Structure 1
């Protein structure tokens, strides 16, 4: 049977900043609420995304992503659905470390994170490559169910960058730059099989 591609329009939404983002720390799968700056970011995004017709916002299970989705859905007839596969990467022993500390103390690891993040696997954590496989499967499922709609996904970094790079069929940019990239969104058009 010949499989036909599904053309999807996906809003990849990064939650508002958390205290760790504000401090340039690696958050990974640590669950924390948004900071005051994060709430301001989401209020701005809500205004920017007001014209998009959305039926469902698919969201990572972390507190900052759920709070972002709730703020984006406020005043709209939009359902919020938590997708466990969109949980952030388990950064193992890197949780809570300053990104600058990684640059100074582990220059080879830092360089790999800049040049080829898919090759990274934090000690005691999940590899970027495994995370990519995990989220892409769920993105395909969500996109197929929402065939003619704009798909909205709220996921923390670096999962959001992994989703976006997979949809664009491009390598992921620097892990360290994306790690604290918050309160923004991108519309990606992609063919999914």
Structure 2
């Protein structure tokens, strides 16, 4: 019988720089938007902050802000960028473009569900958080497995970044509404798998 040793995976979960909708506190979901000037400035600071972290590939969601963030982080480094369609942000259906404050004020019950049990949320005409989690879990496992014991970098917009972080850490997703805007931040998630 062969004993399998645990493998430590280290995943850098990176949120793109802000878009105009992030600046305005609007729900962008799967809308494909470029970064705002503020978002580009955020990514420039992030690139300097992460300059000493070694990765071979930055895996990015297919949206423009995530791709541009990944390309800016890879610039001048021996790092390639690979777009992963499964990291596409959640389709928020009829919620696209709504102000977060408008959701809180006009749909208090839905807003509360997003705070207390986001996995139970499904926007009208959109994708449920539970379905998005299932979609991303397969993709993140594949990326981590291919990268073996190397650091993995994933650029995904919110709330997909929080779903990825939750799937990797095993911690529950909390407060969807706090995880709706991007501002070029990152988390390092370390976990063991057999």
**TM > 0.5:** yes
TM-fit CA distance, 1:155:
0.2
Q: Which moved more, 1:55-64 or 1:167-176?
A: 167-176
> 1:12 is paired with a residue of what secondary structure?
strand
TM-fit CA distance, 1:173:
1.6
- Runs of 4+ aligned residues of structure 1 deviating over 4 Å after TM superposition are 1-5
Q: Is the 8 A contact 1:6 1:144 kept in 2?
A: no
**How high is the TM-score relative to the length of structure 1?**
0.96
Q: What is the RMSD computed on CA atoms of the aligned residues?
A: 1.4
> In the aligned structure 2, how far is the partner of 1:77 from the partner of 1:105?
48
Q: Is the 8 A contact 1:18 1:38 kept in 2?
A: yes
In the alignment, what sits opposite 1:139? 140
In the alignment, what sits opposite 1:6? 7
Gaps of 5+ in 2: none
In the alignment, what sits opposite 1:91? 92
Matches within 5 A, 1:1-193: 5-192=6-193
> In the aligned structure 1, how far is the partner of 2:30 from the partner of 2:81?
20
Q: Which moved more, 1:71-80 or 1:177-186?
A: 177-186
**How high is the TM-score relative to the length of structure 2?**
0.96
> 2:10 is paired with a residue of what secondary structure?
strand
> In the aligned structure 1, how far is the partner of 2:130 from the partner of 2:122?
8
TM-fit CA distance, 1:191:
2.4
Q: Is the 8 A contact 2:61 2:155 kept in 1?
A: yes
> In the aligned structure 1, how far is the partner of 2:6 from the partner of 2:130?
23
